[in-house]
Structure 1
Amino acid sequence: MSGSRFLALLLVLSACTHQPQIPSSSGHLDNLALAPRTAALPIQPPASPKTAMAVPKPPVTTYSVVVSDVPVREILFALARESKLNIDIHPAIHGNATLNARDQTLQEILDRLANQIDLQYRMEGKTLFIAPDLPEMRTYKVSYVNMERDSSATLGVGSEISSGSAAGSSSRGSQSVTTLNSKSKVNFWEVLGDNVRNILKSTRSQAALAEEKSLQDRVARMAMEDRIRQVEAASHAGAGAEKLFQQAFHNPSQPSAGTTHEDVILNPIAGSLSILATSRQHRAVQQYLDSVTAAVQRQVLIEATIVEVALNDTFKSGVDWSRLGSNGGLAGVTFRQNLSGNANLLQPINTVGASASQLSIPGFILGYNNTSSPLGNLAASLSWLQTFGETRVLSSPKIMALNNQSALLKVVDNVVYFKVEVTPATLSSTGTVLSPATYTTTPQNISVGMVMSVTPQIDERGTVSLNVRPTISRIIDYVNDPNPQLAASGVVNPVPQIEVREMESMLQVASGQTVVLGGLMQDEVRNTDKNVPGMAKLPIIGKLFQAKHDQRRKTELVIFLRPTVLNPATMDESAFSTFTPLLPQNALQLDQNNSMD
């Protein structure tokens, strides 16, 4: 005690001492003030500040605990004694722990004990409070749009030759139909609530089993001790020994401990998730939320270019993709071509182009390694395609989509035509018109243009799985309605004839790589009649002044797709470098520069 007082006194005395004032050397300040002024010297640049030395961090106190089936209270008291802390332990804290901790901090050891025993701790000043891990309400922020989305698509090809009876519904003939249905349903908040409830249910079951086993062991020990005391009392009870003996060895069933229900409160409008759970359950929920939010916030930019190649006479069989590569095409390009429909032939080589096992149609896989080229992989590929004929870009859409969210891009013209129904005039037996013919027109609408739907899935490595469906449609001709009632009335009703080129596929590609879907070829025949006006209608010799010219044109449709994972999605990404000058602040500066020029 006296040593402590002496040490405290020594610290107080050392804290109160101060350095004696050292008198400044006389003369040098006064001489400087009285010195004659000299010519002004050039101002020297300021000296660069010296890098301050890093302040060493205080040493971290660690502890080593090696125990086997020791009451947790004893471990906590020992830790408080070694760390020189006050400690308050709730009476409900019980149980044994087994621990082997080497050179760990107090917080790390307490976290490991909390995983074995349902407890929670907090530090207030120099006092450590230990309490049971009771359920508490916590609120988590979840940033996601409050929307339920359902999308479905059907791609079908059918041919039918049938005959039917007007009196019945039976039909006979041959029919061949191929249909591909794709459905996607996204209800983020509903799935999130169900998953969190399942996590709480699972962790509650595990905790209940462990608590039940610990309770059974404790009850069994207490019951055995009580029986021993009752047996000892029965040996001295005389006439009441039989009753005490039955009480000692009568084991009534113990009521099972009730379980509490953890509430999960979802608020999609505010973007919050409130949970009533224990600290152990909150840790499991937090780990799940971190994983989910990181996955659903991934975003991808999908660049698509749809090109129609009018093949020249040399390449009437289609684009020769073998010309790609080091011998005569683009440097850094790898490719695979599948003309037989066997997906195993499209295994990627070297760079990852696409997962061939997931391609459901014949096509191509194109990989371009030189992604830093000024032209870009799509521009270089389009320039190379001109070798095979005249190229025409039908559409070049760019679309962004979140992970597992369907996106739709539609650029079409709504063509209107009319369905005409005629009710013939009613005539009397003498031929008099009783009621005139009536015409009923119903407007019909058909979309002509480009529609592309895409659903991406992005993993943590930047690989993108795509479900893509581009559709190109156009009007190639008009056909008159052959209704004889219209013809009898002299009404001509043209109906548009639509050509549709559509493709639907599942594929996988790395971020920044290019996938090619192609092989859609078609033949066009254009019949042109030329004649000399007036002379072509002369009998016998009129054919000498007529000419017919049949022009054949073969085209191939090629679709380029390049997904780029954006993390984070900002205009600073290299994928948006082309559009950066079009931003409002940059466009204003560009206009000012042009006006100055």
Structure 2
Amino acid sequence: MTSLLSSAAMVAVAQPVFAAAQVTAVQISPTARGATLVLRTNGSDRPQVFSVNRGRTWTADLINTQLAMPGGRFQQANPAPGISMVTVAPLDRTSVRVTVTSSGSAVAGQVTRNQGAILFSMTAAPAKATKVAPGKKPVTTAAKPSNTSLRRTQAGNTLPPLPAPSFQAPLPTVQPQTAPAAQSPFSSPQPLAQLPPASATPPGQFNPSTNPAQSPLPAFQGGAPLVPNPQIKVDGAAYQPPPAVPPFAPNLLPRAIAPPVGDIAVGQVDATSGSIDLGTNERVPRLVLRDASAREALSLLARSVGLNIAYAPPQPLSTVQTSTLQVQDNGGPKITLDIENEPVQNVFNYILQVTGLEANRVGRTIFVSPRLPDTARSLITRTLRLNQATAAGASAYLSSVGASTLRSVDVVRIEEVGTGTNRRFVETRDTEIRPLEAKEGTAPLLLRGLSIATDDRLNSITLVGPPRKVEIATSLLTQLDARRRQVAINVRVIDIDLIAFNRVGASFSFGVNDSQFVNTGGIGLLNFGRQTPSFNGLSSTLNTGSTIGAAPAIFGGSISSNALGFSRDFLLQLQAAVTTGNAKILTDPTLVVQEGQQAQVQLAQEVITNIRQQVTATQNSTQITVEVEKAPAGLTLPVRVEKIDDNGFISFTINPEITRPDQTVNISFTNQGQTVTNPITLLAKRIVNSGLVRVRDGQTLLLSGIIQDEDRATVTKIPILGDIPILGALFRRTEKQQQRREVIVLVTPRILDDTNSSAFGYGYTPSREVQRIIDAGQR
């Protein structure tokens, strides 16, 4: 046991030898925006510091450094607002890690080196302050430090002692005191530290005043403050202004999220070039050629299998790809081969491919040339009638991959003939045949050597060229001639009419001797005597034995005699009527629209919206021209289908427009001294522009917000009596009508199945009348 302890002690003593620097003391000072951590170090070498910010945790690793402190680590909780924990602990035998944890948002740190010390400036957003009960001490989790100063392990340094680290930054309490007239309002009970000159700091010591965050404020030059050093308390505790929030932008999303991508239809075409079939399985055991003529190499291989070679040199006017060829007299391009155990047929085609020579076998003879004449080439002709694609578009597509197209273009020329008064312009129309082909470049042109002719009347395209290239062009046109999809769009337009009609009025009658008074819905009648004048349909004899009747449904106009029943008793009738409306479907059509086309539904009636009169006066006569402008009033619903993709999504635009007559205005014109009045109609429009929207097959798009509100109030009263406060309600009638009309558009697209396996009908169920007509037509 003794030996074990002695060995452990030896290891503990020998451990500091491996590190170039040692951390001997730690000091934490709170600042306005966070805290400052100072590490005192010993050693000749400066330790390397690597810092990493991980959200709410900031770590710094000191390489080639050891922690020489009592307890082997340092830990302090809540050293400053916004920082919950600061830990300094050894990472391994030669590394020390500083960990700062924030209680709020992200924490940032900055490292500054000084003579014999390392300064860490930490900034963090403050967390919600925790209220500490009076008389209780904050809970600490760090090791208990010394009460006087932190110990040092090296006796050679003469650093001043550091105060014991506090485990929670105390809240400063400003006590009111009387200041002299020259005292600054920014002064504190303790004087601010003055910055000494740079040369005043002894070597080997750290001056904390060099931190820019703790620089003193300039002296105040004004007079005495009105209230010097006031004490501010919030909920009985001293108030401390919150530190400034560091300028960190929050992460809006945890990471970038790309929009979804659907499946893509892929079609592949074998674009390999054709080969010459030698009709043999012979192999080349070993063949080595250095800068040999391609013609000689082809002749050697052809003779080895019993075939002949006919070589034609390039013609002066031919178009030859000479960028990679080395032409020497009539021997063709040079080639170098080093081949072993390869079929003769493959080697023969390899030479043709790398030299760019054209070859065609006829019988036992192979024709070879940089550009074979048409009589020596193997050419075929194929005519295709396109179903969906246009011939012009298909020819332009094939020309982009190397084919040559001859187009017929009508050219219009306008020439000036003659001079002076005989000057005129003559128009001539000519037909020109213009070639359309891609220019040679670095991109591969698969259909080079293929000729194309088009016929717009039959929408056909003719391919002329080698069999392999005609086959490639046919495969490309098969993929290009796909059908455009169609969609059946059900558009349902619902007009919701919400009418709120409130009518409140009072009706009563009474009589005194031969005088009677009747009030019916704000219309009063006073009669003296037993007889009434016979006018406006009133009877001369009054019925005094009946009570008052019900108020008329619509007030106004002449008074019926049935409403004038008098009674000597005071009767009161209060009537209130509320009329509500409902919704109705204006139209419910189903439109079949092809991709890229537009359909429109219009339920409208033309009205005259404007009248123009133009008067043209001459010496002998005056001509009057009247123009009438008309516009549709009703529902107009255009639908345009932009795209139907392979994943069942439909992109379309829909712009419903509701137009109704608003009011009628009379326009007066003077015609031959007479004034003619013509009415015109002003229209009120409600338009919704959806823009380009995308929905899935069978989903319903709801367009709302086409709202029209009308509020009307009509008051009918007896003069003077109807204006009396409170009691005046008995002599007047109030009608309030609120009308709210909203148009809702429901759009449901469904992609039609155009394949041969689809059913003829699409779930259509005819009505009884339509079924009767269908049955009658089949008889």
Q: TM-score range by the shorter chain?
A: 0.3 to 0.5
Name which one, 1 or 2, has greater alpha-carbon Rg: 2
Task: Give the helix-richer structure, 1 or 2.
Answer: 1
TM-score relative to the length of structure 1: 0.42
Q: Which has the higher contact order (CA 8 A, sep 6+)?
A: 1
